Amino acid sequence: MIKSRFGTFRGLVRLALSYLQLLLGRSASRAPDVAQVRRLVFVCQGNICRSAFADVAAKKAGLNVASFGLSTTSGRGAHPPAIVAATALGHDLSAHQAIDMQDHEPQDGDLLLAMEVRQLHRLAGDPRLKDMPRMLLGQWTRPMLPHLHDPYSLDDRYMATCLMRIDRAIPQLVRAFPGARLS
């Protein structure tokens, strides 16, 4: 059950800790002015699974989006199991190309949406991004799951679960950030 729902035991522990970090104000979140949000920027480690999928799913829902990885190689394709899981959810990741954080071009109106608390801390420490609003994408999942554990090289069932959770968060984002809609 842990492998299919949380990826690893570590993923379950990090999920539990993320609730505590949010409750204690230790997540490095920086709330946006909703009226100022014009683009949602999804962030994860490699930009080949979670943020890549969120980018494609949110774009399909009509949102202005971008994505990048904190430690990746720009131009790298999506992870093959992520492509398979995305296809099962009705999304095409086959053309995705990763973007490294250093190659990402921030814009006024960006809201950074990370998958893990530790990623929020990395964003807060980056001189180009530290003043930008940032939150956890999992705050829009139902139920709220502030830690979306990295599915890379884990059980295919967890890959599907992780991407399904992200897919279900997208309608919440559409409602929460009307200024990020493309039309």
* DSSP type of residue 44: E
37 vs 10: CA distance, rounded Å: 33
Among the listed residues 14, 39, 49, 50, the single catalytic one is 50
44 is catalytic: yes
Helix (H, G, I), strand (E, B) or coil at 62: coil
Q: Are strands 65-69 and 39-44 parallel, antiparallel or unpaired?
A: parallel
3-state SS record for 103-118? HCCCCCCEEEEECCHH
- Catalytic-residue membership of 150: yes
Q: Out of 39, 44, 122, 134, pick the active-site residue.
A: 44
DSSP reduced 3-state for 58? helix
Q: Which of 14, 110, 118, 150 is catalytic?
A: 150
Catalytic residue annotation: 44, 50, 150
